[in-house]
Chain A
């Protein structure tokens, strides 16, 4: 029933989907890890990134420049939101940030609708080539997406482990007060993390554009998957996010090969099972908000 060709293409499909999930949720995870806020507005930067990539590539004719522009605009809007809104709510309880950021997400979707309208837009595939892997045709673009996720993971790992700012961020995940006590400007650190998170979400949107249609609701459509990824991986853990995004990607992809409607349901079942065993996800720390 499941031949090797179908399975290979399903596997690659799952890997590329997992890559998008990873890029999209790493911001959510970083923001929770250090600032202890749930930043649902990351999905807005994902939408914005996709739309900017679409518009710029229409004008210039090159998607890569579009994606770059998308990253810049997303990071910029993340910076503005952090300065205007999140700055005032770091001290509040967790649900507070969740409601506020959901407001930003919904409002932002309204702004996107205002600019681009409701119609879904197709984005041209930048690479049309196919390669043969185990006798199966695989679009090169999907492999490029996977490579991007790999590069970002390595980049984040190097940044967090080899640079002084990255080490401060890791220390912040453990204990923000102590970092502040060392004389590090925590407020500037928070802004930096927000910009990085927004940029990565924008990258995810730009890369995802050619694989799907770009539409105002796209952020809300992946919302459930983003949640499942961070919950399964554990809020605040980069490694957990990586593992669980590829896990969810495979479950969706292989699941839909077996029975199509499974695609949306399977990750949810997986999440419930994992939460039954580990209530804070695979790699989540059991500590509460301080």
Chain B
């Protein structure tokens, strides 16, 4: 029974997601899935560990460029490219993590954003010989088709991204249940008390940082495959707020918030840019309004009501425990 309860939410969410494929154009559905993988790292950092990171584009770009470099210069197998992106994200996060997680919250946010901008300049100007600057690296034609699930084709890519997203969500739900997940929450609420309990706060923070940013780099690698083009635009400072906006829109720290946030945000951006082509205006003021209206987000507001509804329908079997 516990097993059923544990999996039920996930299954419902992903069945609903699979329906996206039926009702939405394919690239749009893939975009939503990748964006939600991108956002869950940020949501985990913000809602569970209490780190606000404006530097997520930095790690997205690390993953995307690692994949792009591999596919442009070394190999042709997109799966290997994804793996390279994932490993690059892990190594990158591990390299800057020890310095960053030591910092106080305000400095952490600022240094992270600075890091994103530096990577932007690095890719746009300094490494222009290998990144082709603003023109970007084209890899659509560089990918070989692979047996079984050919991710160089959009239809198969959707299935692959869907599976990856499902694995990521199972992983984060599992993480919430472990002692480590509780430690993360404790870091957010009161790190002194955690220290008294004998946990190493630095280690908890570093692990969370690496987990979240490796996920982000994975999203970057998937973006590279999906778009077939990687340009510095990815980590431009104007995009830095995107994951934070979506996180807060969906509800920070909640499991399904990033999914809902991504759907609403991607849809909104699509409609706005079709109508007036000035999405900064809308995104900026939406952000301010959401912040002033309350930071619980869509899922954070919806979840308790759904739980109440579910417990009424099933006669109290679901919903009370968590």
Contact = CB atoms under 8 A, between A and B. Distances in A.
A183 interface: no
B118 interface: yes
A280 interface: yes
B110 A230 contact: yes
A95 B295 CA distance: 12
Given A103-B291, A217-B238, A224-B113, A279 B103 contact: yes
Contacts of B284: 103-110
A105 B54 CA distance: 14
Contacts of B111: 227, 231, 271, 275
Interface stretch (B80-88, B121-129, B206-214, B302-310): B121-129
Interface string A255-290: 000000100110010011001100111000000110
B222 interface: no
Interface in A77-114: 85, 88-89, 94-96, 98-100, 102-111, 113-114
A178 B6 CA distance: 51
B287 interface: yes
Nearest to B292: A88
Given A96-B291, A103-B287, A103-B288, A227 B280 contact: no
B295 A102 contact: no
Interface in B87-119: 99, 102-107, 109-111, 113-115, 117-118
Interface string B121-145: 1100110000000000000000000
Given A38-B110, A107-B281, A113-B280, A95 B105 contact: yes
B54 A224 contact: no
A85 B106 contact: no
Nearest to A223: B237
B185 interface: no
A228 interface: yes
B170 interface: no
B241 A99 contact: yes
A94 B105 contact: yes
Contacts of A110: 278-285
B52 interface: yes
B113 A107 contact: no
A96 B292 contact: no
Interface in B259-288: 278-288
User: How many interface residues does chain A have, given as a range?
Assistant: 35 or more
B99 A102 contact: no
A235 interface: yes
B241 A85 contact: no
Contacts of B121: 224, 261, 264-265
Contacts of A102: 54, 240-241, 244, 287
A228 B109 contact: no
A98 B52 contact: yes
Contact of A106 (B113, B117, B280): B280
B184 interface: no
Given A98-B52, A98-B54, A231-B114, A275 B288 contact: no
Contacts of A220: 236-238
Given A95-B52, A220-B238, A279-B103, A100 B113 contact: no
Nearest to A32: B106
B140 to A, nearest CB: 28
A111 B121 CA distance: 26
A46 to B, nearest CB: 14
Contacts of A99: 52, 241, 244, 248, 287, 291
Interface in A198-237: 217, 220-221, 223-224, 227-228, 230-231, 235
Contact of A223 (B115, B117, B287, B288): B117
Nearest to A224: B117
B116 to A, nearest CB: 8
Given A85-B288, A106-B284, A114-B278, A96 B295 contact: yes
A268 B118 contact: yes
Contacts of A108: 284
B96 to A, nearest CB: 9
Interface string B229-240: 000000011101
Given A99-B241, A230-B110, A89 B281 contact: no
A288 B190 CA distance: 14
Nearest to B279: A110
Contacts of A100: 287-288, 291-292
27 contacts: A38-B106, A85-B292, A95-B109, A96-B291, A98-B54, A99-B287, A100-B288, A100-B291, A104-B288, A107-B287, A110-B281, A110-B285, A113-B281, A220-B237, A221-B237, A223-B117, A224-B118, A227-B111, A231-B107, A231-B110, A231-B114, A264-B118, A275-B111, A276-B99, A279-B107, A280-B104, A289-B106
Interface of B: 46, 52, 54, 99, 102-107, 109-111, 113-115, 117-118, 121-122, 125-126, 236-238, 240-241, 244-245, 248, 278-288, 291-292, 295
Given A98-B106, A281-B107, 15 more contacts: A85-B292, A88-B292, A95-B106, A100-B292, A102-B241, A106-B280, A107-B287, A113-B281, A223-B113, A224-B113, A224-B118, A265-B118, A265-B121, A275-B103, A275-B107
Nearest first, the 6 A-B pairs at minimum CB distance are A107-B284, A110-B281, A103-B287, A106-B284, A224-B117, A110-B280
Interface of A: 32, 38, 85, 88-89, 94-96, 98-100, 102-111, 113-114, 217, 220-221, 223-224, 227-228, 230-231, 235, 261, 264-265, 268, 271-272, 275-276, 279-281, 288-289
